[in-house]
Structure 1
Amino acid sequence: MQRCHEKVGARMTRQDSMVQASRRQYYLRRGWWDDTTLGQLIDHGLTGRPDTVFRVWSRTRPYSGTYRDVRDLATRVAGSLHHRNVRPGDPVIFHLPNWLEAAVSFAGLAFAGAVAVPVPHYVSGSDLGKIARLSRARVVITSGADPARCSDVVTALRSTAPSVEHIVVVGGPVPTGCEGFDAFVAHRASEPIASEPIRTDPDQIALLAFTSGTGSAPKGVVHTHRSLCAEVRSHLPILVPSSSRPQLTGGPISHAAGMLLGLLLPIHRGQPVNLMDTWDPADVFAAMDATGLSAGTGAVYFLASLLDSPDLTPGRLAQIDSVVLGASPVPTSLARRAGQLGIDVVRSYGLTEHPTITGAAVTDPADKRETTDGRPLPGVELKILRDSGETAAPGEAGEVCARGPDLMTGYLDPELNAELFDADGWLRTGDIGFLDAEGWLTITGRSKDLIIRNGVNISPGEIENVLLALPGVVEAAVIGMPDESTGERAHAVLRLRPGATRPDLEQVRRHLLGAGLTKVKWPEGLHIATEFPRTPSGKVQKFLLRRDLSSFLEPTSEDR
């Protein structure tokens, strides 16, 4: 069986051949890279403080144990994979909520030197089948909590992914031909527990993540042991003070933000891990009351849901000492509101491809932390390019390009590598932003989201930030809709707090005028939505909003 790193490596020589050798030596020399593997990093954290609490907050599969217990199960997962002929470099999918089994599967894959392919638990069976086929996964670990959905997943895998040899089911009835998770790890019980993770080449692939971002086509993103370990050791400690309260994490560990901030950083530091499988403010507050936890880090939804809750008491607010906001666009209004309430807010910008490009420390000036997306983190180089390819001046918006020690090795698709990497290894992010005179970055939107009306480029992010200051508005998305006379027209889609008064288009325009936005940027349509289509990280999928706008609107919503 040809291993994943051999198959993938053959498909992405551009980034390796052009920059890998020189960048590798530079990052090693500066100490951002070393020879630590992901398995070693996890194992060192789990064994260093074995009595540290590891807890899953769930109405269906709660768990409370220690690092010692987690390591024991992780070694059993690694042993069971080996028993099924999974070797270093082989891809394995875990398709689970924030349950214990998701965490120990991830750790066990790292111990075995296998390639982790994390897939959010709500991804459909047909989409999971596509990912399994593209990744050539040998094993899939999925949820059986919903038997009908599990049956669909199994059917899709068997019909579309011939590489899958084993399907392991967590919870619920086990379909014929599959294996329950308890039986899967029990195979390890009669064998000696490995004393340490399998030693693998740190330049080899550790993670294969599929992301669609705000576009429609999923992309296979390849990270090595070096890029992930650099992220955990060099970048995340800057964003999260070691003295801050333990965080309750609602972001899925199958996504970069949840995996890095909710799982790997606390394990690296030997601090408690607290995961939640379904985010509900009532459950969050109950957990905070019981244990003194903080909460709100990740996509803006997590913090906003707590600040907007009528159950947020002064005592609970005091527990939210600091948060890292990212994984989706961060409204300045939310960051400032949190800061005024006494929360130390750190905004961070990154992608699955390059997890933390910019960020800040809580000791940096509050105005910078709350109104910009941070400055380049150690080893990261950043530039803003005009359409002509020239470097933009400070304050001038253009496409954000970056490279650094946590940058992916490349995409599975060689055409994407050719399109999005230049000859010097810079990644074209597709995001639009500008650097101020002191090097702080502000993201204003996606290049694909730009609205072009009568030849004028309109950045939705600037308008959305102002719309969020309207009374009662929780979220705002500005999209371009086709128009025969102007090419595109801007439409504002708002989500309101329960009971809030619905604004009309004229009120919105007066608000934008008062904020100083020129008339060309004013929306020409207004809609009220019940919810937005989202990526796993909470980003609004504007291509779906444009395509299926009516399906997301309130029954009484109409163009105005």
Structure 2
Amino acid sequence: MTTKINMQPERRFAMLESGAWSDNIITDYLDQAVLTAPDSVAVIAYRVNEDERQAFSYRELDRLVTRMAAGLAGLGVAKSDVVSCQLPNGWQITALHLACVRIGAILNPLMPIFRERELAFMLGHAQSRVLVIPHHFRGFDYAAMVQGMRGELPALEHVLVIGGDHSADSFEQVLMQRAWEEETDTAALFADRRLGGDDVVQLLYTSGTTGEPKGVLHTSNTLLSNVRPYAERLQLGSEDIVFMASPIAHQTGFLYGLMMPIYLKSTTVLQDIWDARFAVKVIEAERPTFTMASTPFLTDLIDIAPDHGEALSSLRTFVAAGAPIPGALVEKAGTAVNAKVISAWGMTESGAVTMTRPHDDARCAIHTDGLSLPFMEVNIVDEDGLEVPRDTEGNLLVRGGSLFVGYLKRPELYGVDDQGWFATGDLARMNEQGYIRITGRTKDVVIRGGENIPVVEIENLLYKHPAIAAVALVGCPDPRLGERLCAYVTLHNGHTSLTLAEVVSFLLQQRLTKNYLPEYLEVLPALPRTPSGKIQKFKLRELAMDIRLDSATRQ
């Protein structure tokens, strides 16, 4: 597949000159680890429901990667082809990315929560050649779902199922139990497929305001120019152990749970399902020093920490992002989990852009989203693009090394100006010390537990409901998840009532992912509108500020 990227020669020159880009690729760091620390543990993977632990040294991981890469090439995966995977955290997704880089393919991680509607669009848009899925995960049959979609996906040649039977689509039988590396000259294959720093290696879909997911394209240069300064700011090294329960199919898990440990030649500990009590057991056993997750993960750990003594004492750093961090949480973290709480802000298009520092006062994590990382810049401007005074709210722009290189097949949406600034869609202010605070969003997105909810897409589905005349979705504050999704509707004449259960049932019939379902519904006689007829969502957000969701309204 051709992946046209937006690479201005001036940007490349400036990034190389500054040291942001090195043209290294992630397998260079794997090679270094295998050479200098072959028996060090690379990956430890826990499966919660199975209570299973698997561990691989760098030598063992490299062997798995070599076999997988040769196997993918043997299945016909060519340079620049897209290999998709819908996998929970586990060694397979780490090895799959490294294998794709070995043969010049592009990995497209997909969230396990996606169902037919989202999956059909993303796989079709990416023209994925291969899809790797679990047979079952959290009680859901992925193999059956994908089998029912094959007719819609003519480009999809291979579906490899992990943990299924021994049929022709078995991941284990097709890819891992065959000695592919003995059937080809892997050294020659890998040399021939060697990627440059500006070749695309990652395709991640992100929800936006258009009602259609956008495929974010990253290169080795953009990804690694984020990993390096991130690790340096947090003073992480090869002796550190990373604990990652955030999905690797999100940029957080991918950058800091998959790539960063390999860059550091350290160990990553992966957990496939978030379960706080299981996490305590894992942390006590593996003694990780660092983790990053959305605020609800921190809340859950702190809530149960008093029952577990010193089990969490190894954690030195907890980076929280996705929602403001309550002050009480920061205070409790210092005693309950022995961790310094670091606040951060970023996006799929850039990875972490701003982050507080380990030596900053705890109040920084409460009241700010940090300083920009090396090789990244932030600016706050008014509607005319002029920089606003300090402590004044404006539109947040970013530019620098880790900014992505385009949206797949949507060059018109790239939105980077001649000076390299990208409009994030967020509102922010900056204090005199250069720390920013996200104050709102110009994009029509609700973020629940760190997960972007595609508001426009869901609204479009609800407009198909026979009872709904108008609909607007907004977020209401939630102390644990940051926001929950609220639906305000008006009804067509002849319809007098509508319940949340009916709305949920309708959306499920439309094959919407359960994680995107609204949790509150209010029927109004009219939605607030401007004189031109545009719905005034800011007024609905004001109404939503008073919502207190109880168990009866949560799905």
Q: After TM superposition, is the score higher than 0.5? A: yes
- The counterpart of 1:172, out of the listed 164, 170, 181, is 164
Residue by residue, what CA displacement relative to the aligned partner does 1:153-200 show, whole Å, maximum 9, x if unpaired? 33244122211111111112366x524333313141533673566422
| 5+ long unaligned stretches in structure 2 | 447-473, 490-525, 530-535
In structure 2, the residue matched to 1:503 is none
Matches for 1:114-513 after TM superposition, within 5 Å: 114-145=105-136, 149-173=141-165, 178-185=169-176, 186-191=178-183, 194-195=186-187, 198-212=193-207, 216-239=211-234, 241-242=236-237, 245-294=240-289, 296-309=291-304, 312-339=307-334, 342-414=338-410, 416-417=412-413, 420-448=415-443, 464=477, 468=479, 475-477=482-484, 481=488, 484=527, 487-488=536-537
State the Cα RMSD in Å. Answer: 3.0
Q: Would you say the 8 A contact 1:94–1:106 is kept in 2?
A: no
Instruction: Pick the aligned partner of 2:18 from 1, 13, 30.
Output: 30
Equivalents in 2 of 1:450, 1:277: separation in Å? 26
**C-alpha contact 1:132 1:157 (8 A) present in aligned 2:** no
Q: Is the 8 A contact 1:239 1:360 kept in 2?
A: no
Instruction: Choose the corresponding residue for 2:547, options 526, 535, 546.
Output: 526
- Deviations 1:421-472, CA, capped at 9 Å, x for gaps: 2232211111111110111011112113599xxxxxxxx99x95xx74xxxx
Pair 1:74 & 2:74 matched: no
Assess if the C-alpha contact under 8 Å between 1:98 and 1:277 holds in 2.
yes
* Partner-residue secondary structure (3-state), 1:298: strand
Q: Which amino acid aligns with 1:446?
A: R
Distance in structure 1 (CA, Å) of the matches to 2:238 and 2:71: 38
Q: 1:513-542, CA deviations, whole angstroms, 9 ceiling, x for partnerless residues? A: xxxxxxxx6857423155xxxxxxxxxxxx
Whether the 8 Å contact between 1:144 and 1:174 is mirrored in structure 2 is no
Q: Secondary structure at the match of 2:413?
A: helix
Pair 270,415 (structure 1): closer, same or farther in 2 beyond 3 Å: closer
Query: Within 1, Cα distance between the matches of 2:487 and 2:334?
Result: 32
Helix, strand or coil: the match of 2:195?
coil
Deviation at 1:151, TM superposition (A): 3.4
Question: Cα distance 1:258–1:214, how it changes in 2: closer, same or farther (>3 A)?
Answer: farther
Shift of 1:337: 3.7
| Match in the other structure for 1:99 | 90
Q: Residues 139 and 474 of structure 1: is their aligned pair in 2 closer, same or farther, counting only changes over 3 Å?
A: closer
- Equivalent AA in structure 1 for residue 159 of structure 2: I
Deviation of 1:402 after TM superposition, in Å, equals: 0.4
Alpha carbons of 1:289 and 1:133: their partners in 2 closer, same or farther (altered >3 Å)? same
Q: Distance in 1 between matches of 2:488 and 2:393?
A: 23
> In 1, distance between residues paired with 2:300 and 2:385?
41
TM-score (norm 1): 0.77
In structure 2, the residue matched to 1:501 is none
Query: Distance between the aligned counterparts of 1:218 and 1:262, measured in 2?
Result: 24
Change (3 A) 1:244 1:365: farther
Equivalent position of 1:508 in the other structure = none
Between the aligned residues of both structures, percent identity stands at 25
**Which residue identity lines up with residue 526 of structure 1 in the other structure?**
I
| Structure 2 CA distance for partners of 1:124 and 1:187, relative to 1, 3 Å | farther
Write the deviation string for residues 223-282 of structure 1: whole angstroms up to 9, x where unpaired: 012111212223333135338852321012121111111121111111111101112122
Report if aligned partners of 2:283, 2:312 keep a CA contact under 8 Å in 1: no
Determine helix, strand or coil for the equivalent of 1:105. Answer: helix
Over 3 Å counting, the alpha-carbon distance change for 1:250 and 1:489 in structure 2 is same
For these two proteins, the number of residue pairs brought into alignment is 477
Asked whether the equivalents of residues 326 and 366 of structure 2 are also in contact (C-alpha less than 8 Å), the reply is no
2:37 pairs with one of 37, 49, 68 = 49
| AA matched with 1:194 | T
Query: 2 CA distance for matches of 1:416 and 1:261?
Result: 30
User: Which letter does structure 1 place at the counterpart of 2:438?
Assistant: I
Taking the aligned partners of 1:89 and 1:474, their CA distance within structure 2 comes to: 37
**Structure 1: runs of 5+ lacking an equivalent:** 452-459, 493-520, 531-551, 556-560
Letter in 2 for 1:445: G
- Equivalent pair of 1:399/1:430 in contact (CA under 8 Å): yes
Matches of 1:329 and 1:367, distance apart in 2: 12
**Could you tell me how far apart the structure 1 residues matched to 2:36 and 2:349 are?**
30
Q: Is the 8 A contact 2:293 2:319 kept in 1?
A: yes
Q: Counterparts of 1:378 and 1:265 in 2: how far apart (Å)? A: 16
Secondary structure class of the residue paired with 2:84: strand
Residue 212 of structure 1: CA displacement?
Answer: 1.4
1:491 touches 1:526 (CA, 8 Å); kept in 2?
no
Aligned partner of residue 172 in structure 1, secondary structure: coil
TM-superposed deviation, 1:484: 4.3
- For 2:9 and 2:368, the matched residues in 1 are separated by 33
Comparing 430-439 and 382-391, the one that deviates more: 382-391
Output the amino acid matched with 2:171. G
Partner in structure 2 of residue 509 of structure 1: none
Q: Distance in 2 between matches of 1:67 and 1:244?
A: 14
Conserved in 1, the CA contact under 8 Å of 2:231 and 2:237? no
The one-letter code of the counterpart of 1:346 is I
1:43 Cα deviation after fit: 3.2
Distance in structure 1 (CA, Å) of the matches to 2:266 and 2:238: 10
* Shift in alpha-carbon separation, 1:78–1:286, aligned structure 2, 3 A: same
Tell me whether 473-482 or 322-331 shows the greater mean CA deviation: 473-482
**Contact 2:85 2:93 (C-alpha < 8 Å) held by counterparts:** yes
Residue 174 and residue 209 in structure 1: after superposition, are their counterparts in 2 closer, same or farther (change >3 A)?
farther
Letter paired with 2:47: S
What secondary structure is seen at the aligned counterpart in 2 of 1:438? Answer: coil
Rounded Cα–Cα distance in structure 1 between residues aligned with 2:553 and 2:539: 17
1:294 positional shift: 4.4
CA shift, 1:112, in A, is 1.3
